[in-house]
Structure 1
Amino acid sequence: MAKSDIEIAREATLQPIAEIGAKLDIPADSLLAYGPHKAKVSFDFLKTLQDRPDGKLILVTAINPTPAGEGKTTTTVGLGDGLNRIGKKTAICLREPSLGPCFGMKGGAAGGGYAQVVPMEDINLHFTGDFHAIGIAHNLLSALIDNHIYWGNALGIDQRRVAWRRVVDMNDRALRQITSSLGGAANGFPREDGFDIVVASEVMAIFCLATDLEDLTERLGKVVVAYTRDKRPILAQDLEAPGAMAVLLRDALAPNLVQTLENNPAFIHGGPFANIAHGCNSVIATKSALKLADYVVTEAGFGADLGAEKFFDIKCRKAGLKPDAAVIVATVRALKSHGGVAKDGLGTPDVEAVRAGAVNLQRHIANVKKFGVPAIVSINHFVTDSDAEVAAVKAAAEEMGVEAVLATHWAEGSAGTEDLAHKVVALADSGTAQFAPLYPDDLPLWDKVRTIATELYGAADIQADQKVRNQFKDLEAAGFGHLPICMAKTQYSFSTDPALKGAPSGHAVTVRELRLAAGAEFVVAICGDIMTMPGLPRRPAAVDIGLDADGRIDGLF
């Protein structure tokens, strides 16, 4: 019987975190240790790196996710180990897992098999407390809003137009819509409210895009929390909130350093939703890693239509990053799913289904190329894959002018990514990257959304009712027209219909709503039904998680 991820992780021999830091030339006294195997890197040290040249930046992205699994995080870890194996000074950068999915549908999110980051129990659970700090900072602002209304409402906040919801880092559908301040005059003025999950908070997005504490505080002040009766925006700075919020986030903003199973350095920091936000780890962690390593491997959430696009158009645009190569992860099983095979039939060889589903991969390849970033495909290997099916994936990639490489890191660790690592190095070092965002800053917001939909999703056009069209005009009139777009749509399809697999074309993308994230500095375009507070499935992962007789965590993944 195959070992579980947590069993594999427990058998690993972890090195003291100071030894991991030394591999990136981080002095031991610049590591703020959280136990023996995790630490934050001090800002004082990070400030000394500014004049160093940047290493090569490699993005790991994927096809549209399916129930069959793609293995993007696993590939990011495996490739990082593979690059270190071939003698390249490499660090990986990942998002922190959220407790909601951990106890809900997904389980842990620290890689898998022999391509994991450790200590996996810590990373998947409370880690260094970053998410708790973000949640408390967010809810402090919520408390200040209701407190201001209670004590006379000098700003004239319209209680019907409070835009700032509360957050908790757990899947809980019962909290999506609530009524707060019940119980009489002493408890305030009742109003409709609701909760989002912490990873959907704008504070999380700000946290991951801020370049330092000063930038963080300034961005927090720009958050629009409510409107007056005449629809004038009320900002967090109007409530004098940013200072205290920044205090709560100060220690959290320093990036976290851990290690892989093969004792290679990994930064794991921040974790915004890839739907309602931009789905990337923190700018601070990525920029720090680029100063400390020759190669940095990072990932962006969901498929390339969401994750890579936001990485390029939001994170790279705002942070001045220039990616050198992209790795697009695919599995034979997932391509068969896109080719129309039901989940219970994915283990049966079906070359024609692979070919049919490969149109999804091909569109992602074409899309990444539109940003001027050279790409390679990593086939995340499953034991049920036939040679003919693997050959079909390679042929589909070759039709698009890129190479597809079989990777066996889940079963073999870095030994399974040596070939991929050599080819990624050649690609990143080739100098062929000519990165540019998909659209310019000064393009009207409507045209930005349409460009993404038509260029990347294969849509014929976008549509919206008059109320939403007016939102576009109002945001531009208010001075926000220069901001990038953060598309919020299903991750399962290029369209807004999660059941539409493959590479649909000619559809219309309906924009239901625009949401301004003034502090994060993007405009969210809500397309289709997007949930900012997930619910638990019929059988949550939580029911299989517990402590064994020795007090160790069991069933986490």
Structure 2
Amino acid sequence: MDSDIDIARRAPLLPIADVAARLDLPADALHLFGRHIAKIDAAASTSLARRPASKLVLVTAISPTPAGEGKTTTTVGLGDGLSRIGKRSLVCLREPSLGPVFGLKGGAAGGGRAQVVPMEKINLHFTGDFHAISSAHNLLAAMLDNHIYWGNALGIDTRRVTWRRVVDMNDRALRSVVSSLGGVANGFPREDGFDITVASEVMAIFCLAETLDDLQRRLGRITVAQRYDGTPVTAADLKAEGAMTVLLQEAFQPNLVQTLENTPALVHGGPFANIAHGCNSLVATRAGLALADFVVTEAGFGSDLGAEKFLNIKCRQSGLSPDAVVLVATVRALKMHGGLARDALASEDLQALDRGLANLARHVAGLRRMGLDPIVALNHFASDTAAEHDLVISACRGRLNTLAITCRHWAAGSAGITDLATAVVSAAEARTSPFTPLYPDTADLFGKARAIAREIYGAEDITVTTQAARDCERITKAGFGDLPVCMAKTQYSFSTDPTALGAPEGHHIEIRSIRLAAGAGFVVMLCGDIRTMPGLPRVPAAEVIRLKNGLVEGLF
């Protein structure tokens, strides 16, 4: 069987100027990165007005498992499928992080006959956006420590510095460190640590800012520490936001690439949905809605994380609302949620599959709680049987009262997903009302978390540590109690226990601490044992990635 990278290399790619021409983008609006990648000029991308009839389609998924659901693959395939049935479509995706590329996943550009290309470049450095975000973030950290070193005129309490450094790599050894060792020339020693770049507030701001001016204002609102009197210290207090914006100026321009079938794709920004808000950049989404009639975007991990944050953070801030929602599921993953071991997934097991449907049902219910009726995309795998697909489709039609469609885009490209594309068009054109936010701005922070826990996760309630209670009191007292909540939680379960698959009940969501992201416009609630710096698995993908005869091997 051909690997993803083999399929991608054989694809006949169009010059990126020809892809742009399909969107009526002139050549002078492009900044070329070789023949097949371009950035869209910031002035052009932020001045585009939304097409009157454009439709926004959100792709999300059931709770992920190691068996894989193919959410990005389905997003790409659906974009191609819409093009195939005659719609002017565009795909909006997040950029891959090097952490998962060299860790567990090995790549994040889709798969099979539904990929964005050039796959190797997109997965490895791409246009340098993540490096720019890391540099802007770490510049602020350097300026903070430098200010303390040169007299600390702002009266910063070095015990209450909250701004950690970042790197775009999974590295558990950097979770907790002590900085400034080595004597008086190196500053004042203190406890510090690293997060992965995708968890940076700079990344969140980058993905939620409307313009460069908005970007700079938001960066200035970042809180990095407290003074001895308890008042917050911001990036603007350190006079850092201007230089940070300069570092991000080129990166802020959306990246234009194409799918294997030459459908235009904007790949820009990349926060994780388990530890951040999990959506591509707003500037790319808005550009897509101005350039195409159908924009297909994804929100990371399951709908309990990515879709909830897409709606209650990104859409709340921007005024966007999806016109259709696709919920990706697989027979394999549902059987795993039904208790089947990973090494037994290739065998037909209708009982395990039926039990696993509880996970799908909860995702459907959560989306309906927010006023959205999803279409289930049943992503076909070679080991699936007809009886298994019949069971899922019948259960969706009967028990869940929703449409489920088998999709074969991984093997057949756009020809294998036209039924879903047609259904999405019908749903989008029939929708007349926006989604319903899960909670009002006026609810208190723990009230917002409780609404998410009970109505999306199916939890009995939340529990709050002493540290989280103190954090909430401080953040609310500082005037940020009206912000939406970004729950940082394991992606594998509706609970905080990653081994509790299916649809657990009676559980509590433990909130252990809260971080203010004032520039991004939300607060992050760290739940259970979630980490903002992942570690590599026992056998990382990096072990099989190499160059052979000048070509990259091992990406998948």
TM over 0.5: yes
Residue 450 of structure 2: aligned partner? 450
Question: 2:90, 2:263 within 8 Å by CA — same for their partners in 1?
Answer: yes
Question: 1:374, 1:433 within 8 Å by CA — same for their partners in 2?
Answer: no
SS at match of 2:420: helix
**Alignment CA distance shift 1:433-1:379 (3 Å):** farther
| Whole-angstrom CA distance in 1 between matches of 2:517 and 2:44 | 31
SS at match of 1:510: strand
Task: Give how far 1:52 is off.
Answer: 4.1
Q: Which runs of 5+ in 2 are unaligned?
A: none
| Whole-angstrom CA distance in 2 between matches of 1:48 and 1:219 | 20
Task: Give how far 1:472 is off.
Answer: 2.3
State whether structure 2 residue 258 is matched by structure 1 residue 259.
Answer: yes
State whether structure 2 residue 417 is matched by structure 1 residue 417.
Answer: yes
Residue 355 of structure 1: aligned partner? 354
Question: 2:257, 2:266 within 8 Å by CA — same for their partners in 1?
Answer: yes
| Whole-angstrom CA distance in 1 between matches of 2:237 and 2:194 | 23
Residue 389 of structure 1: aligned partner? 388
Residue 402 of structure 1: aligned partner? 402
SS at match of 2:217: helix
| Whole-angstrom CA distance in 2 between matches of 1:229 and 1:127 | 43
**Alignment CA distance shift 1:424-1:283 (3 Å):** same
| Whole-angstrom CA distance in 2 between matches of 1:386 and 1:48 | 49
Correspondence 1:123-522 to 2 at 5 A: 123-398=122-397, 399-522=399-522
SS at match of 1:192: strand
| Whole-angstrom CA distance in 2 between matches of 1:467 and 1:531 | 16
Q: 1:154-181, CA deviations, whole angstroms, 9 ceiling, x for partnerless residues?
A: 1111111110111111111111111111
Identity value in percent = 64
| Whole-angstrom CA distance in 1 between matches of 2:323 and 2:367 | 12
Question: 1:55, 1:290 within 8 Å by CA — same for their partners in 2?
Answer: yes
Question: 1:211, 1:283 within 8 Å by CA — same for their partners in 2?
Answer: yes
**Alignment CA distance shift 1:54-1:133 (3 Å):** farther
**Alignment CA distance shift 1:194-1:47 (3 Å):** closer
Task: Give how far 1:355 is off.
Answer: 0.7
Question: 2:51, 2:293 within 8 Å by CA — same for their partners in 1?
Answer: no
Please say which of residues 309-318 and 431-440 is displaced more in the overlay: 431-440
Taking structure 1 as the reference length, the TM-score comes to 0.98
Residue 67 of structure 1: aligned partner? 66
Q: 1:369-394, CA deviations, whole angstroms, 9 ceiling, x for partnerless residues?
A: 11112310000001111111111111
| Whole-angstrom CA distance in 2 between matches of 1:242 and 1:494 | 37
Question: 1:54, 1:290 within 8 Å by CA — same for their partners in 2?
Answer: no
Residue 547 of structure 1: aligned partner? 547
State whether structure 2 residue 120 is matched by structure 1 residue 93.
Answer: no
Q: CA RMSD in A?
A: 1.1
Task: Give how far 1:128 is off.
Answer: 0.6
Q: 1:106-161, CA deviations, whole angstroms, 9 ceiling, x for partnerless residues?
A: 10100000000000000000111100000000000010011001100111111111
Question: 1:54, 1:291 within 8 Å by CA — same for their partners in 2?
Answer: no
SS at match of 1:494: coil
Taking structure 2 as the reference length, the TM-score comes to 0.98
What amino acid maps onto 2:283 in structure 1?
Answer: I
| Whole-angstrom CA distance in 1 between matches of 2:122 and 2:318 | 26
Residue 528 of structure 1: aligned partner? 528
Task: Give how far 1:46 is off.
Answer: 2.5
Task: Give how far 1:473 is off.
Answer: 3.0
SS at match of 1:462: strand
Q: 1:286-306, CA deviations, whole angstroms, 9 ceiling, x for partnerless residues?
A: 011011100000000110000
Task: Give how far 1:54 is off.
Answer: 5.7
Question: 1:326, 1:373 within 8 Å by CA — same for their partners in 2?
Answer: yes
State whether structure 2 residue 76 is matched by structure 1 residue 81.
Answer: no
| Whole-angstrom CA distance in 1 between matches of 2:47 and 2:207 | 21
Task: Give how far 1:467 is off.
Answer: 4.0
Question: 1:336, 1:353 within 8 Å by CA — same for their partners in 2?
Answer: yes
Q: 1:264-321, CA deviations, whole angstroms, 9 ceiling, x for partnerless residues?
A: 1000000012122100000000011011100000000110000100000000110110
Task: Give how far 1:48 is off.
Answer: 4.0
Question: 2:45, 2:283 within 8 Å by CA — same for their partners in 1?
Answer: no
What amino acid maps onto 1:286 in structure 2?
Answer: T
| Whole-angstrom CA distance in 1 between matches of 2:222 and 2:282 | 19
| Whole-angstrom CA distance in 2 between matches of 1:351 and 1:408 | 21
Residue 32 of structure 1: aligned partner? 31
Please say which of residues 428-437 and 439-448 is displaced more in the overlay: 428-437
| Whole-angstrom CA distance in 2 between matches of 1:93 and 1:249 | 20
Q: Which runs of 5+ in 1 are unaligned?
A: none
Question: 1:374, 1:432 within 8 Å by CA — same for their partners in 2?
Answer: no
Q: How many residues align?
A: 555
| Whole-angstrom CA distance in 2 between matches of 1:473 and 1:303 | 30
Task: Give how far 1:47 is off.
Answer: 4.2
Q: 1:162-206, CA deviations, whole angstroms, 9 ceiling, x for partnerless residues?
A: 101111111111111111111111111111111111111110000
| Whole-angstrom CA distance in 2 between matches of 1:479 and 1:84 | 47
Question: 1:324, 1:374 within 8 Å by CA — same for their partners in 2?
Answer: no
**Alignment CA distance shift 1:151-1:48 (3 Å):** closer
What amino acid maps onto 1:189 in structure 2?
Answer: F
| Whole-angstrom CA distance in 1 between matches of 2:428 and 2:299 | 18
**Alignment CA distance shift 1:51-1:397 (3 Å):** closer
Task: Give how far 1:433 is off.
Answer: 4.4
Task: Give how far 1:432 is off.
Answer: 4.8
| Whole-angstrom CA distance in 2 between matches of 1:375 and 1:537 | 34
Please say which of residues 475-484 and 257-266 is displaced more in the overlay: 475-484
